[in-house]
Amino acid sequence: MATVLCMKWGTKYGPEYVNRLHSMVQRHLTIPHRFVCLTDNRDGLNPGIETFPIPSLKLPAGAPERGWTKLVSFSPDLSAPGGPELKGEILFLDIDIVIVGNMDAFFQQTGEFLIIRDWQKGDITGNSSVYRWTAGAHPDVLEYFRANLEAVRKRHRNEQEFLTAHLSGQGKVGYWPETWCRSFKRHCVKYFPFSFFQTPAIPEGAKIVVFHGVPNPPDALVGRSGKWYRRVLPTPWIADNWK
């Protein structure tokens, strides 16, 4: 049984983000699967979504968790009785993505740990909007982070930098084919001056469009870019897919 895993915490994103992600997965993933959301508040989530508490990072008192919370996806609590008892292949998805194509290949691609190659860094860094691993594998990720918190925070800005650096050092990182996961603002929005009169388009071969930073899907839908220097025209295909 494959598992699709997501997380929702705090108030930045409402339950509609998880509900829409669940609906998109149901439409685009044909293999048998579970859909699990780790959350601190299940109010408003559809009944068909499995929900469990977010495991604790178990950091020292006062240590900031912001930017590191996704590392609990490697917590042994997720495979323990009484929890979700995740098994097999797990695909983690950010809740602010838009799925535009069949997703079966994300579970068929071979590799120990697969992630998006970051579009901006130009090195080994991955973008953790979409990553896959086997349940129970890589417990050392969380163990090392907890044991070396200050050193990790000095070397890395966030969890995706640390995660890919740590597992790359073990030769375990692979990347999704380049066309599968595309950035909305980098690959869909047209370059200036074309962005002023051409609507953002879904790139050929894309399965998932990632909304990192700004704009997010509802803003891009109506043409709010979030940045004065980036023009984004209203994008109707978001409404066709983000539902």
Task: Provide the residue-wise pLDDT of the chain in tens; the chain has 243 residues.
Answer: 899 999 999 999 999 999 999 999 999 999 999 999 999 999 999 999 999 999 999 888 777 777 899 999 999 999 888 889 999 999 999 999 999 999 999 999 999 999 999 998 878 899 999 999 999 999 999 999 999 999 999 999 999 999 999 999 999 999 999 999 999 999 999 988 888 889 999 999 999 999 998 999 999 999 998 887 789 999 999 999 999
What is the structure's pLDDT at 123?
Answer: 84
What is the structure's pLDDT at 16?
Answer: 98
What is the structure's pLDDT at 83?
Answer: 82
What is the structure's pLDDT at 176?
Answer: 98
Question: What is the model's pTM?
Answer: 0.95
Peptide bond preceding 215: is omega within 30 degrees of 0, i.e. cis?
Answer: yes
Domains along the chain with CATH numbers: 2-175 (3.90.550.10), 181-241 (no CATH)
Contact 184, 193 (CB under 8 A): no
97: its two tokens = 């993505």
